[in-house]
């Protein structure tokens, strides 16, 4: 089990966040969704999910963890031009070489988004929410394809949030303000809540990142006692334990699904694309708010997954976004699951 990491003081949080938000204006990963969600209309009655289009065909993968069912559903992707900014401590030629080694284009990285649904037998839980209809036109597949996966959003009783970046929380509400999961308890990391709901911190933040503070306030508004803050290293619902994995954000959290002797770790954003940050775990993505802590967390989680041969889910890995970790030299390799339509 991972030992919860203490939230060390962040000497470079503001500079990291400012760079994040500057880049996000182009990528719609954080500030973009916030801008799209400015002062929406009053909440409306439950409406149908957007229909799948040829650019957003169903992408659903089911797997068993003991008696629990885990379903990964592709929300979509967003192309990000590769620049010197993206990996803070590696040269662009080195990053491009890593892309080429993975048979990926050297000029652009397609960042994918894959939320997770877990049926434990007692609960129907969503882990992170994607964008719903608040993101780029190439996203929104998670909400659109829940019915295809046999999941009624109104039947979801728990929403677990790993951290408050826009691609993880924008799917809490539709653009019109209506709640996607009207009957769910919404559970958030206490440390993450403390950071993003701090008015003084928001007022002192660079202008470019204030949209992310506003987005969090909008997504979690008016939930009343359905909003629950949790501490790490505790079972948040039966069969799912919160694991502190800070660095990407102050309260970034992963979730360990345990059932019948099986275990799977939903790692959220301990890594962006595995071809870059699993193979090179000491590289620092521009989105990591505390680069040193993020690197330490990444190595700790990858080493644990490799040692225990534990299956993981990575929000930004290529779909179906799940597999195993193998040691490879000074880094690791992400080994995707073998696709099976009978899983």
Task: Answer yes or no: is pLDDT of 111 > 80.
Answer: yes
The better pLDDT of the pair 340, 246 is held by 246
pLDDT digits (tens, 9 = 90+) for 271-319: 999 999 999 999 999 999 999 999 999 999 999 999 999 999 999 999 9
Q: In what order do the strands lie in the sheet with 331-336?
A: 235-237, 240-244, 253-259, 262-266, 311-313, 322-328, 331-336
Beta strand 253-259 with 262-266: parallel, antiparallel or unpaired? antiparallel
Predicted pLDDT of residue 57: 65
Three-state secondary-structure class, residue 323: strand
**What value does the mean pLDDT of the chain take?**
86
Phi, psi values for residue 125, rounded to 5° = -115, 140
The full DSSP string for 100-143 is HHTT--SSEEEEEE--EEEE-SS-EEEE----TTSS-TTB-HHH
- Band of pLDDT at residue 269, cut at 50, 70 and 90: very high
Cα-only R_g, the chain = 18
pLDDT digits (tens, 9 = 90+) for 46-76: 334 444 444 556 699 999 999 999 999 999 9
C-alpha separations of 275 from 46, 103, 105, 121, 316 in Å: 40, 10, 12, 35, 11
Predicted pLDDT of residue 13: 37
Three-state secondary-structure class, residue 38: coil
pLDDT digits (tens, 9 = 90+) for 3-39: 444 333 333 333 333 333 344 444 333 333 333 333 2
Which pTM value belongs to this model? 0.84
Predicted pLDDT of residue 184: 98
Q: How far apart are CA 40 and CA 45, in angstroms?
A: 14
Enclosing H/E stretch for 196: helix 190-196
- Band of pLDDT at residue 209, cut at 50, 70 and 90: confident
C-alpha separations of 99 from 89, 94, 102, 196, 275 in Å: 16, 9, 5, 33, 7
Q: How far apart are CA 181 and CA 169, in angstroms?
A: 12
pLDDT digits (tens, 9 = 90+) for 217-251: 999 999 999 999 999 999 999 999 999 999 999 99
Predicted pLDDT of residue 40: 30
């Amino acid at each position: 089990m991972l030992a919860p990491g203490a939230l060390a003081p962040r000497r470079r949080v503001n500079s990291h966040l400012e760079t994040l938000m500057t880049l996000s204006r182009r990528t719609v990963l954080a500030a973009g969704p916030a801008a799209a969600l400015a002062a929406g209309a009053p909440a409306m009655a439950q409406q149908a999910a957007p229909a799948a289009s040829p650019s957003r065909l169903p992408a659903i993968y089911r797997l068993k963890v003991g008696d629990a069912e885990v379903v990964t559903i592709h929300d979509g992707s967003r192309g990000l031009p590769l620049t010197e900014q993206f990996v803070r401590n590696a040269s662009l030629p080195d990053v491009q070489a890593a892309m080429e080694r993975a048979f990926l284009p050297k000029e652009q990285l397609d960042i994918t988004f894959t939320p997770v649904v877990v049926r434990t037998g007692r609960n129907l839980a969503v882990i992170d929410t994607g964008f719903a209809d608040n993101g780029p036109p190439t996203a929104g597949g998670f909400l659109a394809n829940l019915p295809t996966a046999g999941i009624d959003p109104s039947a979801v009783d728990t929403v677990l949030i790993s951290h408050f970046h826009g691609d993880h929380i924008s799917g809490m509400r539709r653009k019109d303000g209506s709640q996607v999961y009207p009957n769910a308890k919404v559970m958030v990391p206490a440390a993450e809540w403390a950071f993003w709901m701090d008015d003084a911190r928001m007022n002192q933040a660079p202008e470019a990142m204030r949209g992310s503070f506003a987005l969090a306030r909008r997504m979690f508004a008016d939930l009343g006692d359905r909003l629950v803050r949790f501490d790490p290293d505790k079972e948040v619902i039966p069969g799912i334990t919160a694991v502190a994995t800070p660095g990407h954000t102050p309260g970034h959290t992963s979730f360990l699904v345990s059932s019948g002797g099986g275990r799977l770790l939903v790692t959220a954003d301990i890594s962006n694309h595995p071809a870059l940050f699993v193979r090179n775990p000491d590289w620092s993505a521009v989105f990591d708010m505390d680069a040193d802590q993020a690197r330490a967390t990444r190595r700790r989680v990858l080493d644990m997954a490799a040692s225990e041969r534990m299956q993981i889910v990575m929000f930004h890995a290529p779909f179906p976004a799940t597999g195993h970790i193998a040691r490879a030299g000074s880094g690791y390799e992400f080994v995707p699951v073998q696709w099976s339509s009978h899983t």
